[in-house]
Amino acid sequence: MRGWVIVLSVAVPVEAAATLALPGAVGVAIDGGSALPLAAVLLVGALAGAFATLAGPAVAADTTVGLRLRLLRRVLDRGPVPGGPATGDLTARLVGSAADAGGALPSRITAATALLTSLGAVLGLALLSPWLAAAFFAGVLPGVVLIRLFLRDAAQAFTRYQQVQSELAARLTGALAGLRSIHAAGAREAETARVLAPLPRLAEAGHALWQTQRRTVWQATLLVALVELSVLSTAGLQLSNGTLRPGELAAAAGWAALGLGFFEQVEALAGVAHARAGRDRVAELLALPAPPPGGRDLPAGPGELTLIGVSVEGLLGPLDLTVPGGRTVALVGRSGSGKSLLAAVAGGLRAPDSGLVLVDGVPLTELTPGQRRLAVGYAFERPVLVGATVGEALEGAAATETRAARADGFLARMPLGDDTPTTELRLSGGELQRLGLARLLAQRPRVMILDDATSSLDLATEHQVTEALALATAGRTRLVVAHRPGAAARADLVAWLDGGRLRALAPHTTLVKDPEYRAALGPALAAAPAVVPAPRSAS
């Protein structure tokens, strides 16, 4: 890394110096001097250019890779943080911003060098004759104004263009979500036309954008020519009165062109700004705190889960809860009562604002990452499979585990079985949940937290999964977020949550006499057909 930085910071200025020296060397040779300086300048320039081209991407790539790896580790160490940057934002920062930031050093070196080259060229003109430099500046100043005007106009036209563009993208996204309906209705042509409806407006905005550019470009062309001509005329005049030699006129023309290269540096400066913005966006994430990993091991124990004085400001607790080793506690409550939040806190997915979460007497935060994995595991309502293949994403779940989760059937129907790439999976919510359960079984933690983990299964499958799961997890501690009465009835104890507080901890059979408790389980009752019209078939 450092080696390439040195190569880059030597090669770029050397190449620039060679470029700068070129008109002078040409002038010397034309005026009858040796061609050797020119040969030297050209050779050095070519070599320096090659090294700069080699070192630039190497420096950028090293920086980018380093930033990406740090960012990746930070995000994974931090874990899920509510209110943190969204997935898309994180990905954009790792992919886009880190790449932009990688270009920081090369773009700074390049921009600084280019600026110096332009200055050097003007200096060269001034050394030949102050009049030449004056002629140069006479033309350059209006150019600065022109560039400012362009940036303003272009920004407006571009905003309009982007608006239409995103309207079109939104229509396409909507149509893609309804693709099956569109095919079923035989409406592919019609819907294609509907998505494409904003296209004429996009073209209109595009043409407006070209208009802006057109104005600037031809004015800039004139301006550049004006500068060159005013330098050339001045040089010609001095040639005729003998104060300038022919080779010096050639040098003047060359330096005038190099000096005008200043205008192209608007782009290089934009690159520097771009890289700085990227670096800031990455740094923002790297500055986010991540909890330090603990160093303790899990002592032998039954898997007792203890929550002491746990609270999340305004949402949960403070509450105490103990799930005895090997027992099942169901979390019941209306939506918004804090069930899922408590489930997240209990397994260390979310740090409580105060209080402690212990497994077999050891705070979760003090365990090593490996030991934590053995202490608590989760199954979710909508599991996300992470891994290149199904097998990897299931943490190496064996046949017994996929069978227990009732995932063996549809896994067998996949084209490549365990090696099926996760990107090619088209799973229903129920299938996904069963894979989430298989993954949890493969992890074999002492405490299992099931957060609505079977809600998408049809009742028959849920029944089968529940039975198989009960067998497969016998002896393990379980905390179950329950939406259906059956799950609450099967638990040893029900923790009834109301407004973030623990309202009661008792068996379902005791609580069920309370109408308010039944109301808390209400949505589940709506799932049962309370009102069923008589079947139409003759009975």
Partner 1 sequence: MTRSPGWTLLRDQLTTTRPALVRVLVWSAVEALPSLLSGLLIAAATDQGFLAGRPAVGFAWLAAFAAAVGVRAYAARAAFPYVAAVVEPLRDALVRRVVRSALGRAEPTGDGPAEVARLTEQVESARQLTATLLRTLRSVGITVLAAVLGLAVLAPVTLPLVLPPLLLGGLLFARLLGPLVDRQRAVVLADERVAAEAGLAFAGVRDITACGAQARVERSVGAAVLAQGAAVRALGRAAALRTLTVAIGGRLPLLLVVAAAPWLVDHRQLTTGQLLGVAAYLVQQLEPAVRSLAGMVGSWLLELAVVLDRLATLPDPPDRPASGQEPTSGQEVRVHGLHHTHGAAAEPVFSALDLALAPGEHLAVVGPSGAGKSTLAALLAGLVPPQQGTVTVGGAAPHTLPDQARAGLVALLPQEAYLFTGTVGENLRWLRPDATDRQLTEAAELLGASELLDRLGGPAAELPDPATLSAGERQLLALVRTYLSPAPVVVLDEATCHLDAPAEAVAEAAFAVRPGTLVVIAHRIGSALRADRVLLLDAGRGLTARHGDLQVLSPLYRELVGHWLGATLPQPDGLSIVPGP
Residue numbers 142-201 binding partner 1 by CB under 8 A: 165, 168-169, 171-189, 191-192, 194-196, 199
Distance CA 462, CA 482 (A): 13
62 makes contact with partner 1 (CB under 8 A): yes
Choosing from 160, 373, 444, 501, the residue that interacts with partner 1 (CB under 8 A) is: 373
22 makes contact with partner 1 (CB under 8 A): yes
378: CB partners within 8 A, 6+ apart: 343, 347, 349, 440, 448, 449, 450, 451
Q: Where are the alpha helices (DSSP H) in 178-245?
A: 179-184, 188-196, 199-240
Name the residue nearer to partner 1 (CB basis): 1 or 283. 1
Choosing from 6, 95, 151, 288, the residue that interacts with partner 1 (CB under 8 A) is: 95
Residue 51 near residue 7 (C-beta atoms within 8 A)? yes
> Between residue 428 and residue 447, which ones bind partner 1 under the rule CB under 8 A?
428, 430-431, 434, 436, 439-440, 443
**What DSSP state is assigned to residue 481?**
E
CB of 206 to partner 1, least distance (A): 5
Name the residue nearer to partner 1 (CB basis): 42 or 123. 42
> Between residue 467 and residue 486, which ones bind partner 1 under the rule CB under 8 A?
484-486
Name the residue nearer to partner 1 (CB basis): 207 or 309. 207
72 makes contact with partner 1 (CB under 8 A): yes
Name the residue nearer to partner 1 (CB basis): 309 or 527. 527
378 makes contact with partner 1 (CB under 8 A): yes
Stretch that binds partner 1, among 74-82, 271-279, 469-477, 491-499 (CB under 8 A): 74-82
Distances (CA, A) of 197 to 25, 175, 194, 200: 60, 13, 5, 7
Choosing from 273, 336, 463, 510, the residue that interacts with partner 1 (CB under 8 A) is: 463
CB of 349 to partner 1, least distance (A): 6
Within a 13 Å sphere around the CA of 3, how many CA atoms are in the beta-carbon half?
3
Distance CA 45, CA 41 (A): 6
423 makes contact with partner 1 (CB under 8 A): yes
Choosing from 277, 288, 459, 470, the residue that interacts with partner 1 (CB under 8 A) is: 459
Amino acid letter, residue 133: A
Spatial CA neighbour of 417 closest among 399, 437, 438, 441: 399
Distance CA 277, CA 275 (A): 5
CB of 114 to partner 1, least distance (A): 14
β-pairing, 354-359 with 362-363?
Answer: antiparallel
Stretch that binds partner 1, among 107-115, 204-212, 275-283, 468-476 (CB under 8 A): 204-212
454: CB partners within 8 A, 6+ apart: 433, 437, 462, 465, 466, 487
CB of 112 to partner 1, least distance (A): 19
Residue 122 near residue 262 (C-beta atoms within 8 A)? no
Q: How many CB atoms lie within 10 A of CB 375?
A: 23
CB of 366 to partner 1, least distance (A): 15
DSSP output for 149-171: HHHHHHHHHHHHHHHHHHHHHHH
Choosing from 5, 10, 13, 90, the residue that interacts with partner 1 (CB under 8 A) is: 90
CB of 52 to partner 1, least distance (A): 8
46 makes contact with partner 1 (CB under 8 A): yes
Choosing from 137, 417, 516, 519, the residue that interacts with partner 1 (CB under 8 A) is: 417
315 makes contact with partner 1 (CB under 8 A): no
